[in-house]
Copies of this chain bind each other. A is one copy, B any other.
């Protein structure tokens, strides 16, 4: 009995197509001899598409993507400062729109310092934690505006909207994850300043904690959390935090674990009502696009998260192991395709 997974593939802009090509290569390799196959539909979306057609994400695009079982995304975004993109906001109009419309309330970002990978820290210790970033509310809702724009009297507001419904579901996910890992959960927020949103996050974490008596809970202000990420990252197991703090912490976490060339992420709708989307944390890096300089590892590890999400845990583990082995044996400069080839070979070995 063979299983067919309908996969929407969004290569995107810049280095997106290059890294996605390698991710797909590895996906094909790991499923070559298995009874699951991936039926891939490419979607041309991003700055490139916008420049051609003026579209960012049409209702038809969205409906077509939503009809898939999962999504693999490379990276989107044009050359910074490109005047033709002045009024486009690819990030809000495409990436965030997908996350919000497909109710990706868990933005899952594992951070692991793989043996062989080198980060900027002198004594990193063992680093292996996961940031569970809320993905559908907070300061990302787009609830802002301005008056007297462009004058000396301009006022520009941005409102962070947070709901008990939205916070509780992501907090519960984070606790369940911590229970399966090292039983430690850290809430990161700024409760002493953002007293209403922070207060609610804190109360909900305290309430849900009683359902997970085996999980130890602590709290850090976001500023203090950045300190620990560079002085004692081993203290973390699962971090749960809001959309903006999660954005900041995961870039920093990526840096301390060897660079965002290795950082994978999943935008997950755990309820299964919508397809989940897997993407490297890095951006489209237009400056090195097409030069085969990008590291496809983050995209390949995103495939591991995708496989895991689909319940294909064996396949996921094989991809992760192949990446680990590849990182451990790295030396010399390789092209994007060479790294992809090496990892694809390992998953088949």
Chain A residues with a Cβ under 8 A of chain B? 89, 91-92, 96, 120-123, 139-140, 142, 144-146, 148-165, 168, 190, 192-197, 199-200, 203, 222-224, 226-227, 229-231, 244, 247-248, 250-252, 254-256, 259-260
- Residues from chain B with a CB closer than 8 A to the CB of A192 are 89, 91-92
Q: Is the CB of A164 within 8 A of B152?
A: yes
How many protomers of this protein does the assembly include?
A: 2
In angstroms, Cα B163 to Cα A153, docked, is 7
Given contacts A120-B230, A227-B254, contact A161 B157 (CB under 8 A): yes
In angstroms, Cα B165 to Cα A140, docked, is 25
Closest beta carbon of chain B to A117's beta carbon, Å: 13
Q: Is the CB of A157 within 8 A of B155?
A: no
- Residues from chain B with a CB closer than 8 A to the CB of A163 are 153-156
Q: Is the CB of B248 within 8 A of A227?
A: no
- Residues from chain B with a CB closer than 8 A to the CB of A252 are 223, 226-227, 229-230, 252
Q: Is the CB of B255 within 8 A of A156?
A: no
Q: Is the CB of A146 within 8 A of B248?
A: no
Partner among B165, B203, B223, B256 whose Cβ is within 8 Å of the Cβ of A251: B223
> For residue A155, which residue of chain B has the nearest CB?
B163
In angstroms, Cα B120 to Cα A254, docked, is 16
- Residues from chain B with a CB closer than 8 A to the CB of A250 are 223
Q: Is the CB of B160 within 8 A of A158?
A: yes
Q: Is the CB of B146 within 8 A of A196?
A: yes
Q: Is the CB of B244 within 8 A of A256?
A: no
Partner among B96, B120, B121, B248 whose Cβ is within 8 Å of the Cβ of A223: B248
